[in-house]
Amino acid sequence: MDVRSLLDNTLPGLGYELVDFELAPGGSFRVFIDKPGGITVEDCVQVSNHLTRLFTVENVDYERLEVSSPGLDRPLKKEADFVRFTGQLAKIRTRLPIEQQKRFLGRLAGVEDGAVKLEVEGRTVVIPFSNIDKARLEPEF
């Protein structure tokens, strides 16, 4: 079983959403989780303990497991992320230019027909999901 499927099938049952994961140099396996209301240290401990046992049973090879929240500048990976955070400020980098630019900072205005709508300086920019290279929330203080 691939690790993404393993995490996608396990974390929702524990009450968490998989935001992302990576195998970092040196064998560190990093898992980023989220839930409504945010992540606490206790959440990270609970998921870490559960995944340690699960990875042993499933023979997932890693040196060190790190479980954390995605942070204030949470990456936006799935269509559901863009829907959930509608109204929030986000940075989006595209693969190909739109209106002669590849970097956008604006307020998420919803999802429609396979594209994200972003309010940027009084205008709406429509960015197809297939053209998104990276997207993150932009913290507001």
> pLDDT tens digits for 110-132?
999 999 999 999 999 999 999 99
Examine the domain organization and report whether 88 and 47 are in the same domain.
no
Does residue 129 form part of some domain? yes
Per DSSP, 71 falls in state -
> Other C-beta atoms within 10 Å of 106: how many?
21
Q: Calculate mean pLDDT across residues 91-96.
A: 97
Examine the domain organization and report whether 29 and 63 are in the same domain.
yes
30 confidence band (pLDDT: 50, 70, 90): very high
Q: Quick check: 25 pLDDT over 90?
A: no
Examine the domain organization and report whether 63 and 83 are in the same domain.
no
Give the pLDDT of residue 6.
94
Q: Which residues pair with 67 in a beta bridge?
A: 31
| CATH number of the CATH domain containing 119 | 2.30.30.180
Lowest-confidence region among 26-30, 62-66, 118-122, 134-138: 26-30
The total of structural domains in the chain comes to 2
Examine the domain organization and report whether 96 and 63 are in the same domain.
no
Q: Quick check: 27 pLDDT over 90?
A: no
Which of 19, 49, 68 lies at the terminal end of a domain, its last residue?
A: 68
Examine the domain organization and report whether 9 and 54 are in the same domain.
yes
Examine the domain organization and report whether 52 and 91 are in the same domain.
no
Examine the domain organization and report whether 47 and 102 are in the same domain.
no
Examine the domain organization and report whether 9 and 53 are in the same domain.
yes
Examine the domain organization and report whether 51 and 98 are in the same domain.
no
Containing structural domain, residue 17:
3-68
Q: Quick check: 24 pLDDT over 70?
A: yes
3-state helix, strand, coil in the chain (%, to 5): 25, 45, 30
Helix or strand run (H / E) with residue 32: strand 28-34
Average pLDDT, whole number, for the chain? 94
Q: Calculate mean pLDDT across residues 64-79.
A: 94
Q: Quick check: 1 pLDDT over 80?
A: no
